[in-house]
Each structure stands twice: as C-alpha cells, then as structure tokens.
Amino acid sequence: MEKGEKIYEGKAKILYKTDNPDQLIQYFKDDATAFNAAKKGTVAEKGVMNNKISTKIFEFLESQGLPTHFVEHLNDREMLVKKVEIVLVEVIIRNRAAGSLCRLLGIEEGTKLSQPIFEFCYKRDDLGDPLINEDHILALSLATQEEIDTIKKYTHQVNDLMRKFFLNLNLELIDFKLEFGRHKGKIILADEISPDTCRLWEVGTGNKLDKDRFRHDLGNIEEAYQEVLTRVSK
Ligand code: TMP
C-alpha cells in the first residue's frame, strides 16, 4: 500500500492519502496542545503509544459490534483508516466531574454524578469548541436528527463498553471525547481514543493517567501513557 500526499494536519495527527481512495493513513504525532492550543509541547513517544492504545480500543469496540474507521495497525505511528467526512460535532460523556464541567458548574473535581452527562461541542477551533445542543446542530445543519440519534446511541454504548474495559484494568473512565464520520452513508466512530481524549484515574490511588498530566504540568506524562498502554496490552 502506497503512502500518498498529506491531506490534513491537525494538532496531534496527520492524514495521508493511500492508493485506495476509500482509505487513509492516520499518523500520530508527539505534539500535544491544551486549552485550545494556548499551551503547546511534545510528549516523547506519545504518538507511538496513542497509536497502539487507539488500536487496542478500536479493535475491542469493533469486536463488540461498534462500527469504527479503524482498518489496521500499520507501524509505530500509523494506522490505516476508512476515509470519512467528519461530522463537525465533538461528543463528550462525563461519568465524574473534571475539567471544563467543574469550571462551567462551579463544582469540585471528582464530584460524583448521579448519571452520565452527555455533551455536544461545535468542532470549531477558532471558537474554542463551544458547548452546543441538538437545536444548534439541526439549525446549522451539522447533522440530521437521524445522525444525532445514531451518534448518541453509539456514544452511550461506547461509554458502557469502555467503562467496563478500563475497570478491568483498574482504571476509572472519568470522561472522554469522540468524533464521528460519514462513510458510505453511515455514521461510524472516527479519530482516536487515547489518554489524549479520555480521562483515566487509577482506582484506589486516584492517580491521573491521561493528558491532564500535560495540561496541568503534573510530571511523568510519558510514564502515565506507558502505564495505560501496558494495561490495555494485557
Ligand atoms: P474538558 O473537560 O476539557 O471539556 O474535556 C472533556 C474530555 O474531552 C476529556 O476527556 C478530554 C477530552 N477532550 C479532547 O479530547 N479534546 C479537546 O479538545 C477537549 C477540550 C477535551
């Protein structure tokens, strides 16, 4: 399979064409940004670790019947994915309060939630990915009602599956962000699932094993990602 021209470069990944018009190569960089790129840095080998972690999670979700863009792990920093048209909506589920929810509602980090909170954000870096609701999505034609319903159903399924998956590894899934794409008229899970896009706290110690170590300069970032990789690889 031939690697073709670069078609997109984001903050943490690059997409390249392949000789198959339906497939792209997703390349994982070591670059990290936070707070809408106000903070920038690199995390040694993050790309390699996130590629492996995402592979494990996509394989697990596919095995449970969830459609994803994942095709195969190619090498350290690259996976082969289906080419999709990205829906311009980011989906977040929160099982416990952290990050922007604490700022939004004035609650303590770690506050228990009596049920998961589902959020939509408009995928617009220039606006700082603002929180929106279904009316905004429909009024701006970002997705149809049918697509929204599918995205919500899949996201709740991913939450149920991933909570159990990580709990088996003694990790609590605090929250996560998903992106979806359109492929041959169907909604499928896209982007990546890694400690860049999930908050994971070790059960018992509450040790943070995710990008909050970078966001808040907590140290031992590489070790935290490596720990997640080691656990998901078991
Ligand atoms: P937040 O608390 O900063 O809104 O983040 C919620 C979850 O979404 C957290 O697991 C980190 C993830 N996330 C991303 O993957 N990309 C982003 O741009 C942001 C803001 C959050």
The domains located in the chain, with CATH, are 3-82 (3.30.200.20), 85-220 (3.30.470.20)
**pLDDT tens-digit profile of 89-102?**
999 999 999 999 99
What does the alpha-carbon distance between residue 191 and residue 27 come to, in Å, rounded to a whole number? 11
pTM of the model: 0.98
Confidence class for position 118, pLDDT limits 50, 70, 90: very high
Give the distance (Å) from ligand 1 centre to CA of residue 197: 6
Indicate whether residue 99 lines ligand 1 (CB < 6 A): yes
Give the distance (Å) from ligand 1 centre to CA of residue 113: 17
Residue 65, both tokens: 């019947």
Q: Which residues pair with 233 in a beta bridge?
A: none
**pLDDT tens-digit profile of 148-206?**
999 999 999 999 999 999 999 999 999 999 999 999 999 999 999 999 999 999 999 99
Whether the predicted pLDDT of 1 surpasses 90: no
Give the distance (Å) from ligand 1 centre to CA of residue 211: 9
Instruction: Quickly count: other Cβ atoms within 10 Å of residue 19's Cβ.
Output: 9
What does the alpha-carbon distance between residue 20 and residue 1 come to, in Å, rounded to a whole number? 8
Residues 39, 33: contact at Cβ < 8 Å?
A: yes
Q: Which residue has the tokens 């996560």?
A: 176
- Determine the 3-state secondary structure of 66 from DSSP: coil
